[in-house]
Chain A
Amino acid sequence: MQQAIGIIETNSWGAIAAGLDTMLKASNVRLVKYDLVGGIWISVYVAGDINAVRAAVESAQAQFGSVPAVQIKGTVISNPSREFLELYEL
């Protein structure tokens, strides 16, 4: 099975939880972990099928795109290498 990882990062601790909720509902992905980036930034990792992960990240980003105080970034890593997983402690 090809595994992909989706990551969203935001400056709002409320939005990260609501975004995770959206991601888990939007498609068949699983929560991997939260990560403290530093300052007020926090990120969350999900894993699953590449299409599912892409849909999840897009829906989370769309949810907060219109809120001026919340910045949200998202990315999808398809087929992550072993080094990547080790580096980010996944």
Chain B
Amino acid sequence: MAKQRPEVEKEEEARVSPKGWESLRGASLGAIETLGLLPMIEAVDAMVKAANVEVIRFQKLGLGWTIACVAGGVGAVRVAMEAGHTAADRFSQEGVAASAISRIIGGPLPFPPVSSCMLARPHPTTWDWVSGQTPQATSATGTALGFAEVLGFVPAVLALDAMLKGAMVSFKGYGGIPPRYVLWVQGDVGAVRQAVDAASKVASEGNRLVIAQVIARPDAEMAETIPAKFELAAITGFALPLPHRLKLLAPEKD
């Protein structure tokens, strides 16, 4: 008897602004994450009206979470993020989104339903990841692995940036079901430890850290099969082909 895997609806792909925003590559970044689409609509409207910023990504992550990312000059992004956060926060004060979602997660939210951040000079890999592109694989020396698991897209962006700037490590991939993100880095043991420490420090603010760990000498089979890949779109968990390594069931004898 074959077990049927439950059908999970495919998450829609990230909607990326059609305009040539690649010229913005390396500019300042702002990211906002809200619970519910309505606060996000308000926020995006407020952001693009407040300052000269370009929306480079908008996506529904699933479970009610939506994200939007903007890019532009430092001052413009700062003004836009303040405007966007204020606009979206109006709803959380009214309690619309928070009450809607507490039915799904079965309790009160552990953190506020609106969060935003800005990076004045994002690391190139962070930029690629945030804008929804496949990050260029950087040449890593060392085989130690480390990960930081955080709650929310915004803390994930901050943690990734802290990891990449804090030590000489390369981004190996990410996994998890949003709003939980597991960010994997690879490098020398010391560098990975430094990076993971930096990430857990950033994510601990606001209690967004689930767990962060360094694996100094990863088992080869584990390293090969960790559920994290670049090519997965942000909700990814479901589309992930999880490896089946060993067949235990012997074929039936005739």
**Which residues of A come within 8 Å of B, CB atoms?**
3, 5, 12-18, 20-21, 24-25, 30-36, 38-40, 42, 47, 64, 67, 69-70, 80, 82, 85-90
Contacts and interface: CB of A to CB of B under 8 A. Distances in A.
A17 B211 contact: no
Nearest to B151: A69
Contact of A31 (B222, B237, B240): B222
Interface string B206-236: 0001111101001101100111100000000
B221 to A, nearest CB: 5
Contacts of A69: 209-211
* Chain B residues touching A, majority SS: loop
Contact of A85 (B5, B212, B225, B248): B248
B244 A33 contact: yes
A18 B210 contact: no
Interface string B1-12: 111011000000
A67 B248 contact: no
A13 B180 contact: yes
The number of chain B residues touching the other chain, given as a range, is 35 or more
Contacts of B243: 31, 33-34
A90 B249 CA distance: 6
Contacts of B221: 24, 30-31
B213 A18 contact: yes
Contacts of A14: 147-149, 176, 182, 210-213
Contact of A13 (B177, B245, B247): B177
Contacts of B210: 12, 14, 69-70
Nearest to B213: A18
B3 A89 contact: yes
Interface string B135-156: 0000000000001110000000
Nearest to A90: B248
B59 to A, nearest CB: 18
Contacts of B21: none
Given A13-B175, A89-B3, A33 B245 contact: yes
Nearest to A89: B3
A45 to B, nearest CB: 9
- The list of the 4 closest CB pairs from A to B, nearest first, reads A14-B149, A34-B242, A33-B244, A24-B219
B111 to A, nearest CB: 12
B242 A36 contact: yes
